[in-house]
A and B are shown apart, each in its own frame.
Chain A
Amino acid sequence: MRNFAINGKTAVIAVGMSDLTMRPAQSNPALAAAALRRALDGSPVRQRDIDGLVVTSGAPLGVDYDKTAEVLGLEVQFVQQSWSHGRFTNPGLHVAAMAVHAGLAEIVLCVSVFAFAKAKHTMGNIGGEGDHEADRVGGGPHGESPVYGLAAPLGGAAMAWQKYLSRYGYTGDEAAELVLAQRENAIRNPAAAMRTPLTHDEYLQSPHIIWPLRKLDCSLPTDGAVAAIVTSAERARDLCAKPAFMTAIQGLHASRNEHSFGAPWLGIFQQGSVQPCVADAPFAASGIGRKDIAALQIYDAFLPQTIATIERFGFCGPGEALSFIQGGRIRFDGELPINTSGGHLSEAHCGGWTQIAEAVRQVQGLCGNRQLPNAAHVMYAHGAGDCTIFSREVS
């Protein structure tokens, strides 16, 4: 039986991130080192205490586990490295939690580098020549089919977005609110890579790259790294005054109905146009209600993922999210703030790890002028069904 026995048994005790930059400024291993150094700053944990390592972005976009251990002076007896995709961020964190819960390691470092700025400078736009991810029978992991010019992850996101807008009767301009809200959050975040104020008109003038998606609907091609230190709930209380306990975990989903850019009922690519099924398990298993979530941190390489994630986790009904986000509800002082550090659209694209860092820090009360008043529970969620709820206490 799936009983989510791990809920409440582990915690993140510290996070750190490198500078987040739109231009390459450091080597990838230097980014990893900066993230770890900052995570350890103020923590009693030293490099020698770390006995597990999780990497969710290897070379060339990031740094492989062996080089990471070598550069960071680690001696670890548990390692996991995944394919370099943001969809493996929650799973990476969950593997770290499982390793400590299962006794395979005591303190696991998750550290991942995402060097999209370097990739853009050396290879040009992500998804063109030299991108071999699409070289599979049936297309790439975002629906790519280069022979038809359906190239780049953005193409799959645009396909999902067109289906969403047409199926539910929107024009697309409604998305401005989400982009403006995240930019406003980034302006409050000194670490964010994009802090220029943005107006509604400027959003509407943002050019379409792959219609119906605009440039401003896309993540920033930044360089950056995030480190997160995971241990058992018990050790966490010894090592840290304010751990962020992982009170609800749900894994990445995969099936014919799953696509990383649209809810499983949307009907893009081979998805069925099936009866919507909302993810209740994280809430039911933890006893934490949706109303208890102080903020949602969402993986948003492209804007449609935010909308799909809000619906999939039942914060509103299918097709309603683009209405739900209006009227200030998701702004910093609204009922359900979203991506309080700016998200991939305005903070940086570290494959979701900056959103996890933000969730942890909100729960720890370390967010300074963007600290939410009652951040007892903050959720990081991804459109393909995986999530983690971070909590101040284990109930």
Chain B
Amino acid sequence: MLRPRPYLSGFEDMPFWEYCRNGELRLQRCRSTGRFLWPILPVCPDDLSEAYDWVPVEGRGRISSYVVYRRIYHPEFAGHVPYICANIELPEGVRMTGNVFGTDGAWNADAILGPAPRVDALNGRDVTLFFEECGHDLTIPQWRLAS
């Protein structure tokens, strides 16, 4: 789907988008501390070093928290509410933002959650990575409930 264009600075964030375009999620990892950096950073905040590598992640995650949008803020989402936005916790130690899709690949929140869901229905649920073309010649990481 065509989504609002994400902000690209043209600098340290560019490799991320290049890897995504190739169907690979790589994050920065500081060479000296071993820490994964996210959101994309110009330096490791522990030692201010620019010495980091773009390391592939496993592609697994767990839902840490999530919300359901019932209002349309950007016209691109007309026809797509209700949808879920989540903080996905990766085993690499960072939390990424993404949408949550059902095992069938659809992302209507009411269909995913069912009637009268508990407030914590999705917390702790495992998700797996996939990629979605979002227009603008860009591809974004997305997350599907693990079956």
Contacts and interface: CB of A to CB of B under 8 A. Distances in A.
Interface of A: 125, 127-129, 134-139, 143, 145-152, 155, 158-160, 162-163, 165-166, 170-172, 207-213, 256, 267-270
Contacts of B12: 137
Given A166-B65, A211-B70, 17 more contacts: A127-B73, A136-B7, A145-B85, A146-B74, A147-B4, A147-B5, A149-B80, A152-B73, A159-B66, A162-B66, A208-B70, A209-B70, A210-B68, A212-B68, A256-B45, A268-B87, A270-B94
A125 B70 CA distance: 13
B64 A267 contact: yes
A171 B83 CA distance: 20
Interface in B1-15: 3-9, 12-13
Contacts of A138: 38-41
A159 B64 CA distance: 10
Nearest to B99: A148
A111 to B, nearest CB: 31
Contact of B99 (A149, A256, A270): A149
A143 B96 CA distance: 11
A148 B67 contact: no
A268 B65 contact: yes
B69 A147 contact: no
Contacts of A125: 71, 73
B75 A139 contact: no
A303 to B, nearest CB: 14
A387 B103 CA distance: 47
Given A138-B39, A269-B95, A148 B140 contact: yes
A269 B64 CA distance: 9
Given A149-B73, A212-B67, A134 B7 contact: yes
B67 A207 contact: no
B77 interface: yes
A135 B38 CA distance: 16
6 closest cross-chain pairs (CB), A and B:
A138-B39, A166-B120, A151-B73, A211-B68, A163-B65, A158-B67
Contacts of B68: 208, 210-212
B87 A149 contact: no
A134 B6 CA distance: 9
A171 B7 contact: no
22 contacts: A125-B73, A129-B4, A135-B7, A137-B9, A138-B41, A139-B97, A143-B97, A147-B3, A147-B4, A147-B5, A147-B6, A148-B97, A149-B74, A150-B97, A159-B67, A159-B87, A165-B119, A166-B65, A212-B68, A267-B64, A270-B94, A270-B95
Given A170-B119, A212-B119, A139 B70 contact: no
Given A159-B67, A166-B65, A148 B119 contact: no
B54 to A, nearest CB: 15
Contacts of B120: 165-166
A128 B85 contact: no
Given A127-B73, A208-B70, A163 B119 contact: no
Contacts of B123: 166
A163 B68 CA distance: 13
Contact of B69 (A136, A210, A270): A210
A213 B70 CA distance: 10
B98 interface: yes
Interface of B: 3-9, 12-13, 38-41, 45, 64-71, 73-77, 80, 82-83, 85, 87, 94-95, 97-99, 119-120, 123, 134, 140
B83 A149 contact: yes
Contacts of A212: 67-68, 119
Nearest to A273: B64
A25 to B, nearest CB: 26
Contacts of B40: 137-138
B7 A137 contact: yes
Report which residue of A162, A163, A207, A213 has the largest number of chain B beta carbons within 10 angstroms of its beta carbon: A162
Nearest to B77: A149
Given A151-B74, A163-B65, A146 B6 contact: yes
Nearest to B71: A209
Nearest to A255: B45
A137 B66 CA distance: 21
B119 A128 contact: no
A129 B74 CA distance: 6
Contacts of B98: 148
Given A147-B140, A148-B97, A162-B65, A139 B39 contact: yes
Contact of A137 (B39, B73, B140): B39
Nearest to B124: A166
Contacts of B82: 211
Nearest to A140: B7
A165 B87 CA distance: 15
Given A138-B39, A150-B85, A207 B70 contact: yes
A209 B134 CA distance: 24
A172 B74 contact: no
